[in-house]
């Protein structure tokens, strides 16, 4: 078994699910358990300046082995898994020499990873695939990234013939709930540039992402006895239904792709007296993003005109912005990653992230940070899987990037 697989299978056993409702940092204390373990491993492999702070941020340095004054590069991944699905008692399965048929994940519960729903599986015929057992997510987002970075650093420590400058490593909590960069100390990290290893299919190289906001909509109703409520009752759940119906039906995650933005309903809670809706708003284009936020506020205003002031309250909070604005002026960062992929036999796929990474925020904090692939698919659910060969290539890409920067002056 390769080292990256060993590490990955170890890390996914840590339940690090983050919690959007929590006000602590990190949002769940169990993330600190993995943070401490990673700190311990980094020290054991000889990394320097290893730190694990009280907020769960892990940092370390692999000192350069050349005299040249080269850029300090960083590699970043996140420890938490999505709150959308259970990450407890993850029981990975390895399918060797995949034959191109449906993969039974859980015979008892009749759960299968089917070609009809995941046609890209056919790209991995003959490869080895790690899947879930159908009852949890896998955690490749982003424990695959952690395993790949750790394996690459371990490889560089035992292969001093590979020349490189100083390399900084950072592992963050709470990325899945948009807080991964909240307490990231960019000055302490002290890198000139970085890469998140948090992408999907092999070859992904991303330096554009959504502009993102979260919207909380609170709808107030008036409750009366249902037998005597004519012209009196306002059912907040039905007003919520009106609100949802006023948003474009063809602008949701299920109906958009590429550079198309969307409104995404995450949750509905409530009854007659009060109902809450939780949305995320996404768009690549800054002006369209601004228009989306204004449109939601306009919908709220129209319903307030109909039902009375205060019937609908909306709070929109920006989460992150499109990193392209900060990365494109330093395009050589992307070019070097492109060159590294080609050098190890990976076809680069430069395309926008239909989501965000810690790099989205870090880029606006003075650390331009595009995103590299991990090799995973179907993140955040029971059908998540990853190719072992893709993980091994990700390790090679990280090593090659480090080597290529040794040829560049700061």
Q: Residue 169: which of 283, 69, 48 has the closest Cα?
A: 48
Phi, psi of 169, deg, nearest 5:
-115, 135
The encoded tokens of residue 42 equal 């980094």
Distance CA 70, CA 164 (A): 8
Residues forming beta bridges with residue 206, ordered by sequence position: 371
* Sheet bearing 376-377, strands edge to edge: 93-95, 129-131, 385-387, 376-377
Q: CB atoms < 10 A from the CB of 82, how many?
A: 20
Residue 78, classed as helix, strand or coil, is strand
Q: Which of 142, 148, 154, 175 is catalytic?
A: 175
Q: Is 175 a catalytic residue?
A: yes
- Cis ω before 142 (30° cut-off from 0): yes
Q: Is 384 a catalytic residue?
A: no
The encoded tokens of residue 112 equal 């299968």
Cβ-contact 349, 204 below 8 angstroms:
yes
Question: Please, is 285 exposed, middle or buried when counting C-beta atoms within 10 Å of its C-beta (0-12, 13-18, 19+)?
Answer: middle
Q: Which of 15, 41, 80, 384 is catalytic?
A: 80
Known catalytic residues are 80, 175
């Amino acid at each position: 078994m390769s080292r990256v697989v060993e590490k990955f299978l170890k890390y996914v056993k840590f339940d690090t699910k983050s919690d959007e409702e929590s006000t602590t940092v990190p949002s769940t204390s169990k993330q600190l358990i993995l943070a401490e373990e990673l700190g311990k491993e980094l020290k054991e492999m000889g990394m320097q300046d290893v730190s694990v702070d009280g907020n769960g941020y892990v940092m370390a340095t692999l000192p350069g082995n050349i005299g040249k004054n080269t850029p300090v590069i960083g590699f970043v991944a996140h420890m938490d898994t999505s709150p959308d699905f259970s990450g407890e008692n993850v029981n990975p399965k390895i399918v060797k020499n995949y034959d191109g048929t449906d993969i039974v994940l859980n015979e008892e519960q009749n759960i299968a990873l089917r070609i009809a729903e995941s046609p890209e599986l056919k790209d991995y015929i003959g490869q080895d695939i790690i899947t879930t057992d159908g009852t949890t997510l896998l955690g490749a987002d982003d424990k695959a990234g952690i395993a790949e970075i750790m394996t690459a650093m371990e490889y560089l420590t035992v292969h001093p013939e590979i020349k490189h400058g100083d390399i900084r490593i950072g592992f963050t909590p709470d990325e899945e709930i948009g807080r991964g960069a909240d307490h990231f100390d960019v000055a302490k990290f002290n890198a000139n540039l970085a890469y998140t290893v948090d992408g999907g299919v092999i070859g992904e190289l991303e330096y554009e992402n959504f502009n993102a906001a979260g919207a909380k909509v609170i709808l107030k109703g008036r409750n009366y006895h249902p037998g005597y409520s004519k012209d009196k009752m306002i059912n907040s759940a039905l007003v919520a239904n009106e609100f949802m119906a006023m948003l474009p039906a063809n602008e949701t995650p299920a109906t958009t792709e590429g550079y198309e933005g969307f409104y995404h309903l995450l949750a509905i809670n409530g009854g007659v007296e009060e109902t809450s809706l939780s949305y995320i708003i996404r768009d690549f284009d800054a002006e369209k993003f601004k228009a989306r936020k204004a449109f939601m506020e306009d919908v709220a205003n129209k319903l307030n005109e109909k039902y009375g002031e205060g019937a609908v309250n909306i709070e929109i909070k920006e989460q992150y912005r499109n990193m392209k604005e900060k990365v494109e002026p330093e395009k050589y960062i992307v070019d070097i990653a492109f060159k590294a992929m080609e050098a190890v036999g990976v076809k680069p796929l430069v395309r926008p992230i239909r989501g965000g990474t810690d790099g989205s925020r870090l880029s606006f904090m003075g650390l331009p940070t595009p995103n590299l692939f991990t090799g995973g698919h179907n993140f955040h659910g029971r059908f998540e899987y990853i190719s072992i060969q893709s993980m091994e290539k990700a390790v090679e890409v990280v090593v090659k990037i480090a080597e290529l920067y040794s040829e560049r002056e700061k």
